[in-house]
Structure 1
Amino acid sequence: MKKIWFYVLLCIVSFLTAAASASGYADGRVMDFQTQRPLEGAIVTGNNEVIRTDANGMFMLKNATGKIGIRAYGHARGEVVLPAAPVKEPVNVYLRSFTPKALYLTHYGIGSRLLRESALNLAKETEINSLVIDVKGDRGVITYKSTIPLASEIGAQRLVIIKDIRGLIQSLKEKGIYTVARIVVFKDDLLGTARPDLAVRTQDGRVFRDRENLIWVDPSRRAVWDYNISIAVEAAQNGFDEIQFDYVRFPDKKGLRFGVPSTEENRVKYITGFLSEAYRRLTPYNVFVAADIFGYVSWNLDDTQIGQKIQNIAPCVDYLSLMLYPSGFQFGIPGYRNPVAHPYEIVSLSLKRARERAGIPAVRFRPWLQAFRDYAFDRRYFYGPEIRSQIKAAEEFGSNGWMLWNPRNVYKDDGLSREPLPRKYARLDGPKA
Structure 2
Amino acid sequence: MIEKTLLLFFALTLPLAAAALDGRVLDAQSGQPIADAQLTVGALVVRSDARGVFRIAGAPGKIAARAPGYRRIEQNVAPGKPVEIRLAPFRAKALYLSFYGIGDRGIRNQALDLIERTELNALVIDFKGDRGMIPFKSSVPLASEIGALDITTVRDIRELIATLKQKGVYLIARIVVFKDDKLANARPALAVRTKKGGLWRDREDLAWVDPFREAVWDYNIKLAVEAAGLGFDEIQFDYLRFPDAESPVFSQPSTERGRVGAISSFLAAARKALAPYNVFIAGDIFGYVSWNLDDTQIGQRLDALVQHLDYLSPMLYPSGFRFGIPGYRDPVAHSREIVGLSLKRAGERSKVSPLRFRPWLQAFRDYAFDRRVFGAGEIREQISAAEAFGSDGWMLWNPRNDYSSAGLKSEPSAAR
- Kept after mapping to 1: 8 A contact 2:194/2:249: yes
The CA deviation at 1:82 is 4.0
Give the AA of the match of 2:50: A
Q: How does 1:307-346 map to 2 (within 5 A)?
A: 307-346=299-338
State the distance in 1 between where 2:259 and 2:93 align.
Answer: 32
- Kept after mapping to 2: 8 A contact 1:20/1:62: no
CA separation of 1:45 and 1:158: change in aligned 2, threshold 3 A: same
- Kept after mapping to 2: 8 A contact 1:19/1:62: no
Give the AA of the match of 1:61: I
- Kept after mapping to 2: 8 A contact 1:207/1:215: yes
State the distance in 1 between where 2:104 and 2:143 align.
Answer: 23
State the distance in 2 between where 1:385 and 1:290 align.
Answer: 28
Give the AA of the match of 1:65: P
Pairing 1:78–2:73 present: yes
State the distance in 1 between where 2:50 and 2:353 align.
Answer: 16
The correspondence for 1:32, drawn from 27, 45, 64, is 27
Tell me the TM-score normalised to structure 1 length.
Answer: 0.91
Q: Which residue of 2 aligns with 1:221?
A: 213
Give the AA of the match of 1:68: I
The correspondence for 1:377, drawn from 369, 376, 382, is 369
Question: Alignment RMSD, CA only?
Answer: 1.5
State the distance in 2 between where 1:395 and 1:420 align.
Answer: 17
CA separation of 1:143 and 1:210: change in aligned 2, threshold 3 A: same
Q: Which residue of 2 aligns with 1:361?
A: 353
Give the AA of the match of 2:42: N
Count of paired positions: 405
Q: Which residue of 2 aligns with 1:154?
A: 146
- Kept after mapping to 1: 8 A contact 2:192/2:249: yes
Superposed structure 1 runs of 4+ greater than 4 Å apart = 18-21
The CA deviation at 1:103 is 0.3
Which runs of 5 or more residues in structure 2 are unaligned?
Answer: 1-12
Secondary structure at the counterpart of residue 123 of structure 2: strand
The CA deviation at 1:365 is 0.3
Which runs of 5 or more residues in structure 1 are unaligned?
Answer: 1-17, 425-433
Give the AA of the match of 2:56: L
Q: Which residue of 2 aligns with 1:398?
A: 390
Pairing 1:53–2:45 present: no
Q: How does 1:30-429 map to 2 (within 5 A)?
A: 30-82=25-77, 87-424=79-416
The CA deviation at 1:310 is 1.0
- Kept after mapping to 2: 8 A contact 1:24/1:65: no
The CA deviation at 1:91 is 1.5
The CA deviation at 1:25 is 3.4
The CA deviation at 1:66 is 4.4
Give the AA of the match of 1:123: I
CA separation of 1:334 and 1:145: change in aligned 2, threshold 3 A: same
Give the AA of the match of 2:276: P
- Kept after mapping to 1: 8 A contact 2:90/2:415: no
State the distance in 2 between where 1:357 and 1:39 align.
Answer: 23
The CA deviation at 1:130 is 0.3
How many percent identity over aligned positions? 60
State the distance in 2 between where 1:246 and 1:185 align.
Answer: 6
Secondary structure at the counterpart of residue 355 of structure 2: helix
CA separation of 1:64 and 1:172: change in aligned 2, threshold 3 A: farther
